[in-house]
Structure 1
Amino acid sequence: MSLPAAPRRGVVLTEAMRLSWLRLIRSENVGPVTFRELVNRFGTAAAALEALPDLASRGGRRIVVCSEAAASEEMARAQKLGARFVCRGEPDYPVHLRSVADAPPVLALMGDAVCLQRPSVAIVGARNASLSGIKLTRMFSTGMGKAGYVVVSGLARGIDAAAHDAALATGTVGVFAGGLDRPYPLENRPLMRKIVDEGGALVSEMPFGWTPRAIDFPRRNRLVAGLSLGLLVVEAALRSGSLISARLAGELGRLVFAVPGSPLDPRAAGANRLIREGAILACEPADVLEALDPLAARGQQPDDGALGEPDMEGPMEEPSEGERARIVETLGPTPVAIDEIIAHTGISPGVVQLVILELDLAGRLERHAGGMVSLLL
């Protein structure tokens, strides 16, 4: 069975525009949310790049802006590896990520982009998986693949590797925690090659040459969750990355499933807790399909309108020093909503957003879920 892929909508950027997008997201202190605000405010990534040094200095420090040479070199490395970059709003950008507010503006992609437009399910679990866990994973992965779903996972040992391997014939997507030229773990390199050779895809938001660190794996888990309609946890300890993936999936509005296990096995404790907290119990593929099929039948996730480079919001209001000081005074280590800052200070939304952007680029601000922000002391 093959579920329909989403319509390939969007605007294809020119190479010059794509280079500007890559430079902007690779610049210091520019994350996905900051990227989007910059492009919305200045109209193009190229214009935002020109404004970066001044914005950061007004926030309190200088930052390193990615050079054209550095971005061109990364593009050349991607091409040499057989990969390419796809930008948010382009037709090949993953369909389910389009509705995620902090989705990466630029993804490195190796393989067939078609599988990124099909309904998909994430399967994650323990690295030190039991034989029973591996067997269950293969059963779910094969069953979901035969039902037309692409299987997404994080290319780790154990459950992840079993999920990918069982879905090679029907489509699977592997998400890197580092650059596409820095596979981890190395033992899964043959599996990664098979994924590409058999019509699947490998993706990463990290730069080429980036070796994954411990703090990079939760970012990868966010992508695994965001690429899918739902996420299934097969085995997971109480303190594991799989539970982080499940939490992120719930925050993104994805369905969360868990396979129950023996109370005597610590690898089942996390999945059992998820069920107790409201995850959908899954004993066979049919349990997952029953919940996901209505979502898949509706087609792609709602598009957030980020097609190509957005238009400017209008004339920019420049904050006075007094307004900037009042906005900074409202911030502290406790997260607050930007709307609360606007209401408390009475300063226009455009000015508040600009000062928040300045502080963010200067590395003085931390962004939290739900649009909350706090000041780094």
Structure 2
Amino acid sequence: MGTDALARLQHAIAATRFGGGQRTFAAKVRTGGNRAFEQVLNTLSDEQLVQVEDQARDLLGSGVEALLLGQAHYPKLLASSRQAPAALFVKGPVELLQKRAIGMCGSRQASAEGLRAAYACADAAARRGYAVVSGYAKGVDLAAHTAALACGGATVIVLPEGINKFTIRRGEFSHLWDPDRALVVSQFAPDQKWFASGAMTRNAVISDLSQALVVVEAGETGGTLAAGQYALQQKQTVLTLQLFDAPPGNKLLMENGAKVVRSRQHLEAALDYLESDGSKQLTLM
């Protein structure tokens, strides 16, 4: 097991650091399978190979594992997407990626009402046995993770940077932190710093790990709107919150097929629909 885990980490590190770009390398894996990982390792210099091996041992020692596209433990829902990364670095209970999940996205500068709504939505989803999947920004993301942990549920943190950059945020979240109920996921090289395009790319993973995406407050432009638009393009259920006055991005998503959620009861009705695999009629607007 340890040898296999170490080899997967070496493959994941080589792919994310030297694979020539995520989309390009993922396409190679889809056509060539595991050979693509072996091929990139074979192109490394002796010095690069030593770096990869050393980093893999360090990651394994700190509890990080790697999941590779096309292999058994890679999450099936994500694997079916054309945006699926070739490799994921994970720390925590990997089995959470097999649970039914609800994605959450929203503004870093969400209103107080938006934060309360995000907390309520995540709480409702977690209490029904869904894993809550979100990014790790302040605002809606952190409210969603906090709510899931506070009610005894599970949460999946999808990073816009390398997994070595992860730290537990201070405050209520740190007091609730439970490594048995929280999984950290990154599709980037372990030491990759935050960058804007990485955050946008990460949003597709949040969406593709989830049965539905809840959009709290989306502006006229930006990552939250882009995440909702991507989910709609994938024919995914998108639930947008209608607070007192829907933000411009929420309105745009509604015009393009997103369902309107006006209350916790509305959200629970949508979750009933998802649990029935569409056998019930979803009557939300």
Length-normalised TM-score, structure 1: 0.64
The number of residue pairs the alignment matches comes to: 274
Are residues 192 and 29 of structure 1, via their aligned partners in 2, closer, same or farther at CA, if it must alter by over 3 Å? farther
Write the distance in 2 (CA, Å) between the matches of 1:172 and 1:200: 5
Aligned runs of 1:28-47 on 2, under 5 Å?
28-37=19-28, 40-41=31-32, 44-45=35-36, 47=38
Match of 2:104 in 1: 123
State how far apart, in whole Å, the 1-side matches of 2:184 and 2:73 are.
Answer: 13
Query: 1:13 & 1:296 partners in 2: Cα distance?
Result: 36
CA offsets 1:72-109 (integer angstroms, 9 cap, x no match) = 23313322432221222444322321211231121110
1:148 has 2:129 as partner: yes
Partner residue, 2:195: 213
Alignment of 1:39-78 (within 5 A): 40-41=31-32, 44-45=35-36, 47-49=38-40, 67-78=48-59
Aligned partners of 2:8 and 2:107: how far apart in 1?
A: 41
In structure 1, stretches of 5+ residues that fail to align are 1-11, 54-63, 299-377
1:183 maps to 166
Of residues 34-43 and 240-249 in structure 1, the stretch that sits farther from structure 2 once superposed is 34-43
Structure 1 residue 202 displacement after superposition: 0.7
Aligned partner of 2:281 in structure 1 is none
Match of residue 59 from structure 1: none
Are 1:170 and 2:161 matched, yes or no?
A: no
1:269 lines up with 2:269 in the alignment = no
Correspondences of 1:287-302 after superposition (within 5 Å): 287-296=266-275
Q: Distance in 1 between matches of 2:131 and 2:33?
A: 37
Compared CA separation, residues 238 and 165, structure 1 to 2 (3 A): same
**1:278 aligned partner, one-letter code:** G
Counterpart in 2 of 1:93?
74
Counterpart for residue 140 of structure 2: 159
The percentage of counterpart residues that share the same residue type is 23
The offset of 1:41, in angstroms, is 3.8
Q: Alpha carbon RMSD of aligned pairs, Å?
A: 3.1
Amino acid at match of 2:75: P
1:284 aligned partner: 263
Contact 2:154/2:181, CA 8 A, preserved across alignment: yes
Q: Deviations over 1:4-28 (max 9, x none)?
A: xxxxxxxx95644652354234315
User: Conserved in 2, the CA contact under 8 Å of 1:125 and 1:159?
Assistant: yes
Unaligned 5+ runs, structure 2: 278-285
Which of the pair has the greater relative contact order for Cα pairs under 8 Å at 6+ separation?
Answer: 1
Counterpart secondary structure, 2:185: strand
Q: Distance in 1 between matches of 2:76 and 2:175?
A: 23
Which residue in the other structure is 2:183 paired with? Answer: 201
State how far apart, in whole Å, the 1-side matches of 2:191 and 2:223 are: 23
The aligned counterpart of 1:224 is 206
* Deviation per residue, 1:121-161 (Å, 9 max, x gap): 11111111211111111111111111111111101111111
Return the alpha-carbon distance in structure 2 between the equivalents of residues 91 and 78 of structure 1.
Answer: 21
Q: Give distance in 2, aligned partners of 1:131 and 1:40.
A: 47
Larger CA deviation: 102-111 vs 30-39: 30-39
1:240 maps to which residue?
Answer: 222
State the 1:245 CA deviation. 0.9
Say which SS state the counterpart of residue 197 (structure 1) adopts: coil
